[in-house]
Amino acid sequence: MSDMKLEQVVIKSDDHRTMKKTKKLFAIAREAVQPVDVTLANLRSDRDGLTHAEAAARLKQYGPNEVAHEKAPPALIQLLMAFNNPFIYVLLVLALVSLFTDYLLPLRAGEETDLSGVIIISTMVLLSGLLRFWQEFRTNRAAQALKSLVRSQVTVLRRDSASETAQRHDVDMRELVPGDVILLSTGDQVPADVRLLSSRNLFISEAVLTGESLPVEKQSGNITVDPHGKSARSCWRSITSA
């Protein structure tokens, strides 16, 4: 069951003090200790999944199933950050020293001045900052373009109405909602924090989360869980079935 956003509903319904305490406990941790029927009742769903109308309404209510990523700063901020470099600071100090020794002191003494050193160092600073800015700007643009091209599909059970038989549908991972029944097979990425309804020889690679090199077997029976929600009958997003 997709349960990744149930926590948001609970948090919004409590006061500020309760909110801080509730945030410490993931929704999947609570549902992992509940029987399957209780979890289905909490999510207003059943083993045949949601109807298309229910899924559309929940998608509108909860929003897309995606992890928030840090966006690249505006171009102006990137340009200023490009000059935030120790090498740039050293060149600026050298430029100030050259300005003082080659221009200000000779000018005060009535001697011939020379700004060539200041101009050369300033040009180096300008070129270094602009090149760094252009490289980072292009890299961020390319990364955003690649992210927009990646579309992950997941198989869910959906139906046209509550009285009809559920059918398998491949939907975009972003369109998953709380209450969806997901079908996982070998090599699939777990698309959300889920509670297992049934499984057979299911092994999950949790190396990204725990560092364990070997896949961990997952079961849908009555399994004890720790306070953080780590359980043999729950799976977290971004891990892979083996």
Average pLDDT on 90-105 reads: 91
pLDDT at 96: 93
Average pLDDT of the chain to the nearest whole number: 78
Q: Tell me: pLDDT of 102 over 60.
A: yes
Query: Of 10, 13, 33, whose CA–CA distance to 23 is shortest?
Result: 10
Q: Are 233 and 1 in contact (CB under 8 A)?
A: no
pLDDT the model gives residue 92: 93
Supply the DSSP string of 103-159, one letter for each residue.
IIHHHHHT-----HHHHHHHHHHHHHHHHHHHHHHHHHHHHHHHHHH---EEEEEEE
User: CA-to-CA distance for 208 and 234, rounded, in angstroms?
Assistant: 16
pLDDT single digits (tens) 85-95: 899 999 999 99
Provide the β-strand partners of residue 51: 159
CB 220 within 8 A of CB 232: no
Q: What is the pTM of this model?
A: 0.56
Determine phi and psi for 128, rounding to 5 degrees: -60, -45
Q: pLDDT for 50-65, tens place per residue?
A: 999 999 999 999 888 8
Q: Rounded to the nearest 5°, which phi and psi values hold at 189?
A: -85, 135
Distance CA 188, CA 204 (A): 10
Residue 213 in this model has a pLDDT that exceeds 80? no
